[in-house]
Amino acid sequence: IQKFMQINCNSLSLQPIIVKSMKVFTTNQSLQFCLASLKTPASCLGFVPTMGALHQGHLSLIKRAIKENEIVVVSIFVNPTQFNSAGDLKTYPRNLKQDLKKIESMESLGEIIVYVPSEAAVYGNSVAKEAFDFGGLELQMEGKFRPGHFQGVGTVVQKLLDIVGPTHAYFGEKDFQQLQIIKKLVKMTKANVKIIACSIEREPSGLAMSSRNIRLTTGERSHASKIYEALKMTKDKFSDTPLDEITQWVADQFEKDAIINLEYFEISEQLTLQSANKIEPQKKYRAFISAYIRNIRLIDNIALN
Ligand code: PAF
């Protein structure tokens, strides 16, 4: 494997040779054995944790990791401790075969390593979440509506970072609150990894890419695009409209549509994620939406300034 990497890394400076190559591991030992044989003290190891059902959003994270690292690990693991309803966990889309096909067909200079662990490989014999204090980040928005969710995310991300040992880990901004919480987790645990935030990938309608989108019918998709429309209008109105007026305007837009139900709309300060009452010019703000179509929960957000 080392020889393989050397050949390809050396050829990088002459003429890149695109090889398509993928290795799949299901145990920690086999993954770690392979990584130990590939890694040098100078190598960058990029990690893209996922729960599978890969879409363009995930693939853009993997592409970026490929560009920025010699070794890339993608994990596919539907983490039970971050679901707060058994129904949601049960209906969460799973399609390992297609996921592997998508990864295999990506262009890469080296190998892409896919880690598909069992629950026991990640959790041992106790599938439980830890109680983290993320300084209040976990209590806002998603935290209010999905109690315990971020404890589950924190638990699994910490375990995966320990198992994989990356230098860089890639997370999408669609789950912006998750991203801020993971940055906080890394700070709190002094983990030696750089968290890279990647911008949201959207379908042509503006709907943020999500594994849950495949559960939407064609008709429902057109209603789902209301989320991004409302966010874009919020951005347009942000500089000259009082926040409560914007909030009422968004609620009215969703009220008019019987198919999509607004769960929350918030304009929050980007670092603390606290709901904004007034705007301070030196701070950054984002608008966040969560909405349901049937039992399908969709979230999205936008930078406002
Ligand atoms: O964003 C996700 O898909 C998950 O929350 C993550 C980070 C893979 C942890 O299970």
Cα-to-centroid distance, 252 and ligand 1 (Å): 32
Residue 85 has pLDDT above 70, yes or no: yes
Mean pLDDT (the chain, rounded): 92
Residue 178 has pLDDT above 50, yes or no: yes
The span from the CA of 29 to the CA of 194, in Å, is 24
**Out of 13-27, 97-111, 167-181, least confident range:** 13-27
Residue 14 has pLDDT above 80, yes or no: no
Testing ligand 1's pocket by substitution, the residue of 55, 132, 153, 184 carrying the most ligand atoms inside 8 A of its CB is: 153
* Nearest atom (ligand 1) to Cα of 79: 10
- Cα–Cα distances (Å) from 190 to 95, 140, 158, 161, 195, in that order, read 34, 24, 11, 12, 12
Mean local confidence (pLDDT), 145-169: 97
Q: How far is CA 149 from its chain centroid?
A: 14
**Out of 14-28, 229-243, 260-274, least confident range:** 14-28
- Residues within a 6 A CB radius of ligand 1: 49-51, 79, 82, 153, 156-157, 175, 178
Q: Are 30 and 21 in contact (CB under 8 A)?
A: no
Cα-to-centroid distance, 211 and ligand 1 (Å): 11
Nearest CA residue ID for atom 6, ligand 1 = 50
Residue 238 has pLDDT above 90, yes or no: yes
What is the model's pLDDT at position 154? 98
Q: How many CA atoms lie within 13 A of 112 on its CB side?
A: 32
**pLDDT range class, residue 111, cuts 50, 70, 90:** confident
Testing ligand 1's pocket by substitution, the residue of 76, 149, 175, 213 carrying the most ligand atoms inside 8 A of its CB is: 175
Q: Are 124 and 164 in contact (CB under 8 A)?
A: no
pTM: 0.92
Nearest CA residue ID for atom 8, ligand 1 = 50
* DSSP conformation letters of 127-180: --------TTGGGSTHHHHSTTHHHHHHHHHHHHHHHH--SEEEEEGGGHHHHH
The span from the CA of 198 to the CA of 175, in Å, is 10
**pLDDT range class, residue 18, cuts 50, 70, 90:** low
Q: Are 94 and 156 in contact (CB under 8 A)?
A: no
Residue 8 has pLDDT above 50, yes or no: no
The span from the CA of 126 to the CA of 144, in Å, is 26
**pLDDT range class, residue 20, cuts 50, 70, 90:** low
Nearest CA residue ID for atom 1, ligand 1 = 50
The span from the CA of 287 to the CA of 268, in Å, is 6
Mean local confidence (pLDDT), 81-106: 93
Nearest CA residue ID for atom 3, ligand 1 = 50
Element (H or E) spanning 72, and its range?
strand 71-76
Task: Collapse the DSSP code of 212 into the 3-class scheme (helix H, G, I; strand E, B; otherwise coil) and give the result.
Answer: helix
Closest to 293 in 3D by CA, of 235, 212, 182: 212
**Out of 19-23, 115-119, 197-201, least confident range:** 19-23
Nearest CA residue ID for atom 5, ligand 1 = 153
Residue 258 has pLDDT above 50, yes or no: yes
* DSSP conformation letters of 105-118: TS-BSS-EEEE---
Cα-to-centroid distance, 257 and ligand 1 (Å): 30
Active site residues: 58
Cα-to-centroid distance, 43 and ligand 1 (Å): 25
With pLDDT > 70 as the criterion, what percentage of the chain qualifies?
Answer: 93
Residue 304 has pLDDT above 50, yes or no: yes
**pLDDT range class, residue 199, cuts 50, 70, 90:** very high
Give the residue carrying structure tokens 């969709």: 298
Cα-to-centroid distance, 153 and ligand 1 (Å): 7
Residue 11 has pLDDT above 70, yes or no: no
Q: What's the CA dihedral at 266, 233, 298, 279 to 10 degrees?
A: -20
The span from the CA of 177 to the CA of 269, in Å, is 11
Angle at 105 between CA 102 and CA 108, to 5 degrees: 115
